[in-house]
Amino acid sequence: MRKLLFALTILLISSAPLFAQGSGFQVLGISPMPSSLSKADANTSVPEGAASIYSNPALLALSDYSSIDAGYSFWIANLTHGFGGVNFKNDKRAIAFAFYTAGASDYEQYDRPGESNGTFSIQHISISGAYAHDFGLFSLGAAFQFLNEQNYTYRANGYAFNAGIARNFVDDRVRTGLSITNAGEMQKLNVEATELPTSLKAGVSADVVQFSASPGDELPILISAYLDYAHPLSKTEDRDYADYSKTDPYLNMGLSLTIAETVQVSGGYKTQNNVRPVSFGAEFITNDITVNYAIIPFNTGYGTVHSIGLQYKF
């Protein structure tokens, strides 16, 4: 049901910038692809194609291939996230471009009891570009985002920078990363500027154990673990529809099981998050295409998040 109660709508319209701060660009702190959503956003050390623009741009140069990536997530309250991007990998260099959107539409607006005055939408858009270089001992990367938000009749633009460093160890079986994301600012939306979710993250991931479930190594099984430490650098209110962002440091943890390099099942857990602490997912992997899916239940009873993604490798 998309109708808003009269009193709630009056409050929303009279404080449009406040609503934007409470939800809005928190999307930038949420992975755009289900491959990372299923692991509780523990992605600071894991290359994931063009989506690494938003987690750690240095990972773009550590990818094994170029790729086109697309993701779409159905959040609660008729909110959706859409992502599309391309990462061009050339030897030790990579350049990537992407867009990331979040929003909802067809909210009915009232200024008095009775008939509505029409509908309005809430939209947040990030258009980004990034460059990364692998120097051998480590990889460095940086990204720039152009941001635009629309809330009722109000619009504002802004910008943000992402930067990171990453390195692999032990024949790439252990991966590390450090990044700062969403450092920037927005123009005022009516009377107040939306706060961006600036964050400092450190991550490590590792292929913990590999064994075969059949004689002759015909069915290899790989178990991998993922861990991110996140330290928010900006103060955001606990009104976010997706993340209920905290200002205290927290951990994102994930675990995956990959069978015959073809099928992967995964799960994740977020500390200090009572709203959506767990997530699950699955991937089907081929030489050219990877299809992935994630599901995130909300403890609040407001529904369940579903996310689908596709990666084409070239």
CATH number at residue 148: 2.40.160.40
Domain-located, residue 1 = no
Contact 7, 20 (CB under 8 A): no
Close Cβ partners of 217 (under 8 Å, ≥ 6 residues apart)? none
Domain total in the chain: 1
Domain-located, residue 237 = yes
Which of 307, 305, 275 is CA-nearest to residue 76?
Answer: 305
Q: Report the DSSP beta bridge partners of residue 285.
A: 290
Q: What is the pLDDT of residue 152?
A: 78
User: Would you tell me how many other CB atoms lie within 10 Å of the CB of residue 290?
Assistant: 21
Write down the residue that tokens 């299923």 correspond to: 38
Domain-located, residue 247 = yes
Q: Which amino acid is at 35?
A: S
Q: CA-CA distance, 162 to 170, in Å (whole number)?
A: 27
Going residue by residue through the chain (314 aa), what tens digit of pLDDT does each one get? 444 333 333 333 333 333 333 446 889 999 999 999 999 999 999 999 999 999 999 999 999 999 999 999 999 888 999 999 999 999 999 999 999 999 987 666 666 776 777 677 889 999 999 999 999 999 999 999 999 999 878 899 999 999 999 999 999 999 999 999 999 999 998 888 999 999 999 999 999 999 988 877 789 999 999 999 999 998 655 444 444 455 789 999 999 999 999 999 999 999 999 899 999 999 999 999 999 999 999 987 778 999 999 999 99
| CA dihedral for 289, 88, 143, 62, sign (positive or negative) | positive
Contact 117, 131 (CB under 8 A): no
Domain-located, residue 194 = yes
- Angle at the Cα of 75 from the Cα atoms of 246 and 148, rounded to 5 degrees: 75
Domain-located, residue 181 = yes
> 166 to each of 62, 115, 228, how far by Cα in Å?
8, 56, 13
Domain-located, residue 79 = yes
Q: State the residue range of the domain holding 28.
A: 6-313
Q: What is the pLDDT of residue 231?
A: 97
Contact 104, 97 (CB under 8 A): no
> 264 to each of 66, 202, 224, 314, how far by Cα in Å?
21, 24, 10, 21
Q: CA-CA distance, 21 to 178, in Å (whole number)?
A: 26
The token duo for 199 is 């964050």
φ, ψ dihedrals at 271, nearest 5° = -80, 160
| β-pair type (67-74, 304-313) | antiparallel
Write down the residue that tokens 């319209």 correspond to: 13
Domain-located, residue 107 = yes
Domain-located, residue 21 = yes
